[in-house]
Every structure is written in C-alpha cells, then in structure tokens.
Structure 1
C-alpha cells in the first residue's frame, strides 16, 4: 500500500513497454529462489522478523536471523568450523568474514515471542552481528583488514558457490549471445568475457562473465552439447533474474536455445593473490603460465585429482583463478588447496574483504554502482560494449544516441582525505559547495588507508559531465552532517595500470 502509486505507474509501463523506467529489483519476483517461497516455514519466520524489525535502524551489515541455512555450499561445515561469520543472500549461506572460533547460526527463536520457543540464552553469531550495529568501524575491522592484506600479499581463498552458473546452448545460442550481451561474443572457445546485459534504454540489467566453450564429457563442469556454447556466471542474488532476462529475449525473437541451471551442481572456489599460481601449480599438470593460460581465459583441467573448469579471472584485482568444481569434488579440492597453500601463507577470506578489495580496484557491483537506470557510458563500462562492430545488441541505439549527445551524469571515484573516518553510502557528494549527487557504494580501502566511495554526479545547471568539469573544483563528502575534504580519481586509485591481474608484481 505504501508504494502502490509508484509501483502501479511503473507496472503499467512494464506491461506496455516491456520494462519499467526505474530500478525495481527490490520489488521483482525474480529476486526470489522459487523453493524458498514455497517453503511455508521460511516464509512465516522471515515475514515475522521483517515485520518486527520494520522500524529498526538499518545498519550497513545487518543480517537476518530467520530462515537461515536453506542453501549450503559443500564447504559450509568446513568453513563454519574455521570461524566463518556467514551472510545470507538469496537463501545461500556465504562467508562474510572469519572469526577466531565457530559461530554457527542457530534456529530462529522468534525472539521468544508468541510462546513459540524460548529465546536463545547464548547466541555468539547474533552477538557478533550486534557489534556491526554501528556507523563507526566495527570491532572486527582489523580482522577484515588482515583478510585483505593476505589477498594482496600472499593468497586467499573465497567460497563463491552462491554465484549463479548457467550454460547457454542450442541452435541459436550464438545469435542470442550476440543480442543479449553487450560485449563481443565472437571470440574463440576458451575465452572469457566480462559483459553487461542492457535494456532498451541502455540501462544495465546485469553485469556478468561469459565463457565461450564447446561440448565436453557430459559432467557438470564440462557438459556435452553441439556447436558453440556459453558458460555464464552471475552474482549470487541475481541468477534467476539474469536467466529469465536471457530466456525472455530469446523467446521474443523466436530463437531456439537451452539455458541449463548448474548453480546447485557446481561449487565456486576462488584462489586469489600473488602466490595463487604457485599454489595451484603444485596440484595440476596443466601449465598455468601466462603464455598458456592468459587472463580472461578458461579451461577444463584436473586439479588435485579432480576435473573442474578453471577461469583465470579476478574480482579483487589480483592474479587468480576461479575453480568451478562439481559439488562432490569441492571439499577435496578445497582441502588440497589449504594444505599445499600453508607454506605460502594462504588464508580463508569472506565477502567483506571482497567488497573492500573490489571497491579500491574500481570493479563495479551491480545494483550498487550500476542499476537498470544507469548506462555503461555513465558507469565507465563503455569497454563492455561492441559499439565498434556492426553487430546489433539490445540497448545499442540508446547508447549511440547518448554517446553522440554526451552524458549528463557520471560515476565518480572519491576517497576521504581523513583515513580515520568510515563511509557507508548515501553520503552527499559536494563540489565547490554544491551537492551534485550522493554515494552509491562505499568501503574502507585498506591498501589506500582511507575510505573510498562511488556515486553519480550531475552538473547543477545541467549539460554534459566532462573530464574537465570533474578535474576542476574542490570536492567534499558530507559525513554525519560534516563536509570533509575528498580527492577525486579519474582512474582506479589502486593498480590503475592493471598489472597485478597479469601477475606483474615487480616494483610494487
């Protein structure tokens, strides 16, 4: 009822035009994992918790207590024993950060209400959550810092099993990929491409990685099919959203494709850091050198005696590989990595570290830095668009028009000059005393020793936002009612030359 007017307006436009004008992901049924909404116990508990906390202060790293443990990685018990403080995303339990001792999430107790069950007398997980209920640095700020340092200086393992994993195949797979994905999809098998999917207005419906592949042996990581296929990896909360978008576009054109969901069948173990290649090379006969396994490529390999698909990618800005492992092999592969990696200083790390590392590197988060009402040109993602080819793709006309007219808003990178202050998002962005926008996403950049923020700005008088406009003026961020000096960066402030993802660490 509270949003009925606006939702009704957008729903009408959705019916008539095929898409809403605003970002409605928070209201989109595709954000739910179907088995969850059929689970009455989950719905009841989550609804009660949502209602009871409706007027509570929303802290940046709050997590639900209801309806937990619905989707578990094959590494879950191992990571729980290692002290993982889990986050919940789309039903998945994923590591947030690592405590010194196990902190399992206990069954929901309804806070002792309704005589349903007694409230937990001792709940270490909940106690750690309350330590995050602050707009200052949490007490475990240094723990997350150590995870980030381990990744930058040695090696870190991230369990990213919650990511969506799909194979796009069939007679019209290439045609569908050319239309749906903004990047050039004509590369050879073995290539991996970072790309966007756009709407008719050129807005970013998703960013994701797509690996060009051929049919294989019929396993979860190497399925058999005819012709060219595409292995798609999406963010953990957007898998179904992305899958439905791809199928909708293919069906509207009458194209014949299959989109096979392998999310539950494959674990995703990401090994990142300067020593990642040293560790992995001890477990495989596959040559991992740059000449045979370059950045943005993938292969099916045998590692620690198990077949898997390895993608040389990084979401943290380091030398590293994503290992897409059949579920039954995941635990053995993980244990082998941790055993061999001991001498290299390997450590577990969670998504709190990923958020910090990716932010200081300038990597985009969908629905934070980019949404369906932001275009790649505005978000600094023009390189993901095949505008220099003759291949048409959804949203191309809108982008060409915007490129000709110039952009009226631009995603900017700012760092606080005072390294002792945190940022959390929604802070005002100020240039020469005028508010030009607000922060979409912020993290503490441990490699820089200060907080970093991303947000879109517009000129007060309207018109194009140019490099010259951004380079001039004095910038500030309004933090807790105070305007603090900030520095604007036209390039990512960490490793702007992209040397580390190529394994080049000399002199740094």
Structure 2
C-alpha cells in the first residue's frame, strides 16, 4: 500500500480549504478520520479519499509536520495521486487561502493489516489499546511499533476489521517484520492488489476510475452519505448535487451477482426486462459469497428517474460474449450489509 499518495494540507486557513474541497465534514477534532469525495463544479467525483485531522508535530518527522493553524492528512490511491494533487492545487490557487499542500508520498510507507485477527496480531506490535472503546473505527493516533513511531488508522477497504500503519520510509522493513513475526502463529499472509479488488467489490467499496469518474455524481454512485447537505457549509459542486437531488437521479450504480461462476471484467451489457439499460464498469469474483459480482450504472429506457423501486422491480441479465446470464440486483452490499465486521463485531 506504500504507493498511496500522502499529502498534508496545513495552515491558518486550512479548515476553510477543506470545507470547500471535500463533500463530507472533515473539520472534526484531531484524531478523526473521514471518508469523503471531492467534486468538480458539475457535481462529478474527482476523487474519493480519507482525510484525517492532525495536530502539529515534529518538524523532522514526515508523520506529523509542524504548522500554524489547522492540519489535515490526506491518504489517496496511488494511481490517482497526481490527479488529486493537480485538482487540489488548482482549487487552492483559485481560493487564495493561507494554507499549503505538502507531498510526503515518498517519505512514508503504508501497510494495511486486515481481518478478524488483526486486533490480536497488532496488539502485540502497537503500544496502544486497540479495543473498540479505546480505538474506534474511523479514528487514528500516533503510537509505536517495534520501537518506531507510526500513525495507526482504523480503516478498511476490504470489509474487515483492520488498521493501516503509516510508517516513515526508513522504518518500514522493521515494522513489517514485527507484524509478520507477531502474525505468524495466527496464519498471517501477504495479499496483493487483486485480493483488494475482489474484497472491495464484494463489500461495495468504490474504485475511482471504474465505479467513480468525473462525470459520475455522489448521488448516482450511492455516496450521498459523504455529502454534508444537511449542514449549511458550502462545498465545491454542492449546487449541482442539490439540483440533481431535487430533479431526480436518472442513472444509478447497481450491484449485480450471478449464480453461474462466469468471469466478467467490465463493459458487459446490462439487460433489464429485455432492454439494455447500461454496461458493467467493474467486475470480479467474490470468494466469501461465492458468486461473480459486477457494478454498473443503469438508466430507464423510458427516460424517467431511476429510483430504488425501479432497480428492485426489474428482471436482469448480464451479457458476456453474446451469452446472457441471469443476475440479481442488490441495493445494499451483498456482504455484511450492516457493516458489523469493520467495527469488530463478528
């Protein structure tokens, strides 16, 4: 996970900047971590990322820079880090606020320890209480691992209880070896990005570039919960999102599963009641539910809004190489829809 982009947004007017940049309310107390989107003026999603409120730290450490005012730590998928940097920089230049964006991507590594036994393993490595009460989901803190200072974040992109460890580059190997040694008797193993792809789609977590693009809105993508629409705080793209909410959603991202274990990769046609209503954006195999999973945006051929009732009322097939396969549409994640596992309840 070390290829992730890792930026700091700091300065006297950093909170003004994050309020405008991010759809969610990220200006919480230090120690909080929030999943959010960034939008363009049309309401399209330019990024999804996590934003953590931080306190000033040691000028010699990339884990917590010194700054005046407020500080935020941004963790972003590595493949789109430059896109995020460019978008944020452009917005900050237009706003002319007293804050700056710092890139510490090369100075910090990142490892993600996920699964039902992640707490057991990491409790042997980290010098902090990892209980739900002391370290709840969507929070972070500085602690030590193998004698090294790290920033631990309780987050998951795979639908299980787990923590991310953000580690200074020079300490990455030492911390990694300590984690693997502690986890050896619990069956810990390395996992690559194809595992993340499968696990994330099974949980319904979005991938920017596939499920999300600059022409997709949070309402269409099922990410309305990331938008602070109940507050009076303005943010970039808010007017467009509010206009769409009032008018109705005319396309919607839907999860599909097929009983037949057929490989799908994206661009397969989605049929509803005998008509093509869209195509698959992303697909993979879900090993926990033992089914092929696919996500795609659908429209109403009659031109009407795509409500949840519209989604539920149709009969669906997915077409792969000229052959159609019966599919079930889901309005919630087919895996742990109540989000109990990420919160440590098994």
Query: Considering the TM-score relative to the shorter chain, is it more than 0.5?
Result: yes
CA deviation after TM superposition for structure 1 residue 248, in Å: 1.1
What is the aligned counterpart of 2:174 among 315, 332, 336? Answer: 332
**Mapped pair 1:387 → 2:229:** yes
What is the aligned counterpart of 1:350 among 175, 184, 192? Answer: 192
**Mapped pair 1:213 → 2:54:** yes
Correspondence for 1:279: 121
Contact 1:214 1:227 in 2 (8 A): no
Q: What is the root-mean-square deviation in Å for CA atoms of aligned residues? A: 0.8
Correspondence for 2:268: 427
Correspondence for 2:299: 458
**Mapped pair 1:185 → 2:185:** no
Correspondence for 1:410: 252
Correspondence for 2:311: 470
**Mapped pair 1:294 → 2:294:** no
Deviation per residue, 1:95-152 (Å, 9 max, x gap): xxxxxxxxxxxxxxxxxxxxxxxxxxxxxxxxxxxxxxxxxxxxxxxxxxxxxxxxxx
CA distance in 2, matches of 1:221, 1:180: 23
Counting matched residue pairs gives 345
Correspondence for 2:341: 500
CA distance in 1, matches of 2:126, 2:285: 36
Contact 1:250 1:256 in 2 (8 A): no
Correspondence for 1:264: 106
SS at match of 1:373: coil
Contact 2:154 2:163 in 1 (8 A): yes
Contact 1:214 1:226 in 2 (8 A): no
CA deviation after TM superposition for structure 1 residue 243, in Å: 1.3
CA deviation after TM superposition for structure 1 residue 314, in Å: 0.4
CA deviation after TM superposition for structure 1 residue 346, in Å: 0.3
SS at match of 2:167: strand
**Mapped pair 1:242 → 2:101:** no
Task: Flag the structure with higher helix content.
Answer: 1
Correspondence for 1:121: none
CA deviation after TM superposition for structure 1 residue 413, in Å: 0.3
The answer to which structure, 1 or 2, has the higher relative contact order (CA under 8 A, 6+ apart) is 2
**Mapped pair 1:167 → 2:8:** yes
CA deviation after TM superposition for structure 1 residue 284, in Å: 2.4
SS at match of 1:411: strand
Task: Flag the structure with higher strand content.
Answer: 2
What is the aligned counterpart of 1:251 among 68, 93, 99? Answer: 93
Contact 2:54 2:64 in 1 (8 A): no
CA deviation after TM superposition for structure 1 residue 442, in Å: 0.3
Deviation per residue, 1:400-447 (Å, 9 max, x gap): 00000110000000011212x111110000011100000000001111
Correspondence for 1:446: 287
SS at match of 1:484: strand
Instruction: Give unpaired runs (5+ residues) of structure 1.
Output: 1-159
Deviation per residue, 1:461-482 (Å, 9 max, x gap): 1010011111112110001111
CA distance in 1, matches of 2:49, 2:89: 16
Contact 2:55 2:71 in 1 (8 A): yes
What is the aligned counterpart of 1:491 among 318, 332, 335? Answer: 332
Deviation per residue, 1:197-241 (Å, 9 max, x gap): 000010000001000111012311122212220000111111121
SS at match of 1:231: strand
CA distance in 2, matches of 1:466, 1:240: 35
Contact 2:13 2:69 in 1 (8 A): no
